[in-house]
Structure 1
């Protein structure tokens, strides 16, 4: 029997940001830092975001700039040009 944690999301309308960090790893993070993770592929980041947000792809935003995992506040974007 495989145990699976229940989704962390309390509101299906919460935004989940995905993007790459400075090392090229994929990040998925809820806008308020309620949940997030580090992933080796875009597909895994999206799969996690969909699981956590209750299967709402319309609330996933892929950022064109770098994002760093920050579980204390909204994700920070790098200041480098895209």
Structure 2
């Protein structure tokens, strides 16, 4: 039995950016840094983006400029801290 990890995102409004980095690798990254990865081909980057965004090709944007995978960005929390 093959285990499949569930998609990181379920909202179709999430934009996934794809493009090449300065080393020629393909990058796919959700616009807010929620998920992303490095790939050897454009096809694999698109396949990953489609899996993660719930099969919504209209939310994938291929950039004409270089893009670097940024794993330091943190998604913004929707909850604010309360003063005690």
* TM-score exceeds 0.5: yes
The structural deviation recorded for 1:5 is: 0.2
Gapped runs of 5+ residues in structure 2? Answer: 75-84
Q: Does the residue aligned with 1:66 lie in a helix, a strand or coil?
A: coil
Q: TM-score, normalised by structure 2?
A: 0.84
Q: 1:79 is matched with which residue?
A: none
After superposition, residues 1-82 of structure 1 pair within 5 angstroms as 1-71=1-71, 72=73
> Does structure 1 retain, via aligned residues, the 8 Å contact 2:10–2:54?
no
Q: CA RMSD in A?
A: 0.9
SS in 1 for 2:5: coil
- Distance between the aligned counterparts of 1:7 and 1:39, measured in 2? 17
Q: How many residues align?
A: 73
TM-score, reference length from structure 1: 0.86
- Structure 1 moving runs of 4+ over 6 Å: none
SS in 1 for 2:65: coil
Whole-angstrom CA distance in 1 between matches of 2:16 and 2:41: 16
Instruction: Output the CA distance in 2 between the equivalents of 1:10 and 1:58.
Output: 14
